[in-house]
Amino acid sequence: MICLIRVTFICAVALGFGSWLAFSQPQTSCAACGEERWAIKTLSDTNAGQVDFTPKSGSVAALTNMPAPKDGTTRNPSEMQTYSVQAMLVGYKIESDHDFHIVLQDLNTAATMVVEIPDVTCSGACTSIKKAEIEKVRADFASGLSKAPEVEFFPLAKPVQVEVTGVAFFDFAHGQTGLAPNCIELHPVLSFIFTEKPSSVADRSKEPKKHPESFYHCLPETHE
């Protein structure tokens, strides 16, 4: 009888401790949103801590002329730098992976590139070393617009000048609107400053045109 009581007591204590442990652990039920190079896009990869977050001044034209890396399985040296660019905001949309997909145009040329802001409710972004900055810039971008991002790309009738800071990232080419020839992006964006509020008027004639596959010189189509 003593043994039975002792075993019962030990089991009760163990079950109680297990329940307390489960309750006390942080819950990380983040949505699965993206796939391709997702940890690198969201600064949740093992090399994210090595990124230089002191931004270098750049331009859309200069960034889109950088050579693309040859391997996309890890963060490349060219993806270890943060850049700040002055550019024109051409348009934006929300992607199926919840990212805000934003197209910038160079101030002096026709060159365009994509910059993206993840959603911190998604996996990767929810554990990013820059989660707070990503959450803030997403709110800043949304509140700075006259029309909220939708699934359809919204080309501004009157582009506005902006200052954008983010980490260099090279994507694969799969028909993205406004994609640079080398597929460089600032991803994630860490700061987005408007010089004026964009209007809610669209002009479909100003949507960046798609290019043939031969236009792009990006990462080879491999996955993590």
Would 32 be classed as within a structural domain?
Answer: no
In whole angstroms, give the CA distance from residue 124 to residue 10: 39
Q: Give the pLDDT confidence of 82-117 residue by residue, as tens digits.
A: 999 999 999 999 999 999 999 999 999 999 999 999
DSSP single-letter state for residue 186: E
Would 4 be classed as within a structural domain?
Answer: no
How many domains is the chain partitioned into structurally?
Answer: 1
Q: Give the pLDDT confidence of 74-83 residue by residue, as tens digits.
A: 999 999 999 9
- Averaged pLDDT, 197-205: 97
Provide the domain limits for residue 205: 38-215
> Looking at the predicted structure, is the pLDDT value of residue 14 above 80?
no
> Looking at the predicted structure, is the pLDDT value of residue 26 above 90?
no
In whole angstroms, give the CA distance from residue 34 to residue 192: 22
**Collapsing DSSP states into helix, strand and coil, what is residue 63?**
helix
The CATH number of residue 207's host domain is 2.40.50.140
Q: What is the DSSP string of 112-174?
A: EEEEEE--TTBTTGGG-TTHHHHHHHHHHHHHT-SS---SS-EEEEEEEEEEEEEEEEE---S
Q: What band does 35 get if pLDDT is binned at 50, 70 and 90?
A: confident
Phi then psi dihedrals of residue 83, to 5 deg: -125, 150
Would 68 be classed as within a structural domain?
Answer: yes
Q: What band does 28 get if pLDDT is binned at 50, 70 and 90?
A: low
Would 112 be classed as within a structural domain?
Answer: yes
Q: Give the pLDDT confidence of 118-146 residue by residue, as tens digits.
A: 999 999 999 999 999 999 999 999 999 99
Cα diameter, the chain: 88
Would 128 be classed as within a structural domain?
Answer: yes
CB neighbour list of residue 47: distance below 8 Å, 6 or more residues apart: 74, 75, 80
> Looking at the predicted structure, is the pLDDT value of residue 178 above 60?
yes
Would 8 be classed as within a structural domain?
Answer: no
Burial label for 62, CB within 10 Å (0-12, 13-18, 19+), is middle
Would 224 be classed as within a structural domain?
Answer: no
Would 220 be classed as within a structural domain?
Answer: no
